[in-house]
């Protein structure tokens, strides 16, 4: 693991206890809706596009940079309500992150809701660097990455290398949720004030780890624009199935499939 990733890992290790609380606080609870949105959209469309593929096989879903498991929580909740859409397939879910303390929280949270789903859904916990993971080639059908890719040392390299390597070449989808680099647009002064000052203030009051929340803002400032990220996907051999802002100026959803044509 490179030094950049080592620093990020220890930062997430140190904020894990207040991570969920701060997420909900800083987004006014909207982060819950954002994850619900991408999970629902991706699972519905996965079922439509790949309905005939490998009917008998278990569906393998990886939540990469899973943090405390909130995306998986939404996946389970969706399957509970709409199980038929994926034809009662048996599902293997991989909760993967390089921060052990984050994954421990995810396990505690998911153990509580998975109890009655044993058999149909199996959750595996994986501690690994997303950029050099332990997943086998072509082994994953759906990849979720929510608010993770801006923490990777090289997004370009991740998309064309590791992500493409682990995704099933015939029937897979990647669903990525990420902030927008609002700092590219000088006109959005309100959001910039929010990021530059308000987040620091809330972090000071509620988290005691101001550095981590300064990193949050810096990582957004450093992030490529939506257009650049879209280009990285296409240059890496993906087709964008869907792209759009799910919260104006703040959060983007990228749904990509491998371009086999
Ligand atoms: C902002 S949090 C997002 C967590 C979760 N997906 C969510 O929606 O709340 C970023 C997570 O990515 C993890 N992470 C960052 N870089 C990583 C890498 N290279 N490999 C694995 N996990 C990584 C961190 O440990 C952290 O848990």
Q: What is the pLDDT of residue 105?
A: 97
Q: What is the pLDDT of residue 55?
A: 63
Shortest-distance atom of ligand 1 to CA 144: 6
Residue 186 structural domain: 3-258
Q: What is the pLDDT of residues 2-57, one digit of tens each?
A: 888 888 899 999 888 989 998 999 899 999 999 999 999 999 999 888 876 666 67
Answer for the pair 84, 93: CB distance below 8 angstroms, yes or no: no
Q: What is the pLDDT of residue 51?
A: 73
Q: Does residue 133 line the site of ligand 1, with CB under 6 A? A: no
Residue nearest to atom 16 of ligand 1 (CA): 151
| CA–CA separation, 144 and 68 (whole Å) | 14
Q: Does residue 65 line the site of ligand 1, with CB under 6 A? A: yes
Return the closest-CA partner of residue 144 out of 106, 118, 101.
Answer: 106
| CA–CA separation, 9 and 248 (whole Å) | 29
Q: What is the pLDDT of residue 260?
A: 80
Answer for the pair 255, 175: CB distance below 8 angstroms, yes or no: yes
Q: Does residue 129 line the site of ligand 1, with CB under 6 A? A: yes
Residues of the chain with pLDDT under 50: none
Location of structure tokens 């949270």:
109
Q: Does residue 26 line the site of ligand 1, with CB under 6 A? A: no
| CA–CA separation, 101 and 113 (whole Å) | 19
CATH number, domain containing residue 196 = 3.40.50.150
Q: Does residue 8 line the site of ligand 1, with CB under 6 A? A: yes
Q: What is the pLDDT of residue 233?
A: 97
Q: Does residue 179 line the site of ligand 1, with CB under 6 A? A: no
- Residue 62 CA, chain-centre distance (Å), reads 9
Answer for the pair 121, 149: CB distance below 8 angstroms, yes or no: no
Q: How many domains does the chain have?
A: 1
Pocket test for ligand 1, best of 97, 132, 158, 166 (most atoms within 8 A of CB): 97
Tell me the pTM.
Answer: 0.93
């Amino acid at each position: 693991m490179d030094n950049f990733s080592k620093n990020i890992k220890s930062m997430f290790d140190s904020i894990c206890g207040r991570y969920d609380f701060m997420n909900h606080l800083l987004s006014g609870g909207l982060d819950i809706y954002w994850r619900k949105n991408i999970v629902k959209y991706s699972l519905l469309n996965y079922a439509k596009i790949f309905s005939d593929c490998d009917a008998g096989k278990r569906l393998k879903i990886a939540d990469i940079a899973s943090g405390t498991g909130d995306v998986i929580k939404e996946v389970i909740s969706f399957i509970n309500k709409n199980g038929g859409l994926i034809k009662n397939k048996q599902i293997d879910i991989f909760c993967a992150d390089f921060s052990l303390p984050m994954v421990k929280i995810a396990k505690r949270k998911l153990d509580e809701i998975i109890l009655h789903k044993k058999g149909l859904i199996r959750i595996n916990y994986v501690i690994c660097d997303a950029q050099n993971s332990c997943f086998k080639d072509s082994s994953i059908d759906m990849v979720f990455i929510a608010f993770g890719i801006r923490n990777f040392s090289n997004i370009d390299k991740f998309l064309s290398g590791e992500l493409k390597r682990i995704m099933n070449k015939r029937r897979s989808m990647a669903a990525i949720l990420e902030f927008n680099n609002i700092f590219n647009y000088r006109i959005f002064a309100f959001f910039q004030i929010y990021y530059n000052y308000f987040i620091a203030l809330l972090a000071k009051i509620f988290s005691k780890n101001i550095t981590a929340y300064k990193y949050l803002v810096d990582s957004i400032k450093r992030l490529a624009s939506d257009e650049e990220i879209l280009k990285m996907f296409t240059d890496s051999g993906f087709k964008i199935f869907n792209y759009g802002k799910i919260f104006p100026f703040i959060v983007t959803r990228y749904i990509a499939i491998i371009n086999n044509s």
